[in-house]
Amino acid sequence: MADQEDPGIEREEPVVPRCPRRGRPRIRRIIEGVGDSRCYEPRCCTREDGTGISLNPEEIELIRLIDLEGLEQEEAAEKLGVSRKTAWRDLQETRRKIADALVNGKRIEMTGCTKVAEGRCPKCPR
């Protein structure tokens, strides 16, 4: 009879901590240099809603290594310190973001802009 619950007693549900991110944590990438220009915006037909995309420094580095320097994905992955599959997945996502910005006239912003921190960004209010 000990297995039967008393209907008058309320039981609290156990609190289960929620994981903020699913899957494995991202590996820290090795980035050689950061370009001086950090924000890009269309000169005409800009979007009124101010939408844009954000690119991380590791995404810019991956585009630089593969598309500008002409490295193979495996070589670029090795320089970044990630697997080839991770580099391929990040490259596809980065190219999709850039295509979206170009086709739909969105602003491209780089996260971690040093000009903003130094107060030198012409787009940011002073």
Q: What's the confidence (pLDDT) of residue 82?
A: 92
Is 44 among the domain residues?
Answer: no
One pLDDT digit (tens) per residue for the chain, 126 residues:
555 555 566 555 555 555 555 676 766 666 666 555 567 777 676 666 667 888 888 899 999 999 999 999 999 999 999 999 999 999 999 999 999 998 888 888 888 666 666 666 655 544
Q: How many Cα neighbours within 13 Å face the side chain of 120?
A: 7
Is 100 among the domain residues?
Answer: yes
Quote the domain boundaries for residue 76. 51-116
Is 83 among the domain residues?
Answer: yes
Helix, strand, coil shares of the chain, percent, nearest 5, are 35, 10, 55
Is 57 among the domain residues?
Answer: yes
8 A C-beta contact, residue 89 and residue 59: no
Dihedrals phi, psi of 2, to nearest 5 degrees? -70, -20
Is 61 among the domain residues?
Answer: yes
Q: What's the confidence (pLDDT) of residue 115?
A: 62
Q: Is 38 helix (H, G, I), strand (E, B) or coil?
A: coil
Is 110 among the domain residues?
Answer: yes
Amino acid at 5: E
Reading phi first (left if > 0) and then psi (alpha if -120 to 50, else beta), residue 55 is in beta
Q: Give how many domains the chain has, as a whole number.
A: 1
Is 34 among the domain residues?
Answer: no
Identify the CATH number of the domain in which residue 61 sits.
1.10.10.10
Is 32 among the domain residues?
Answer: no
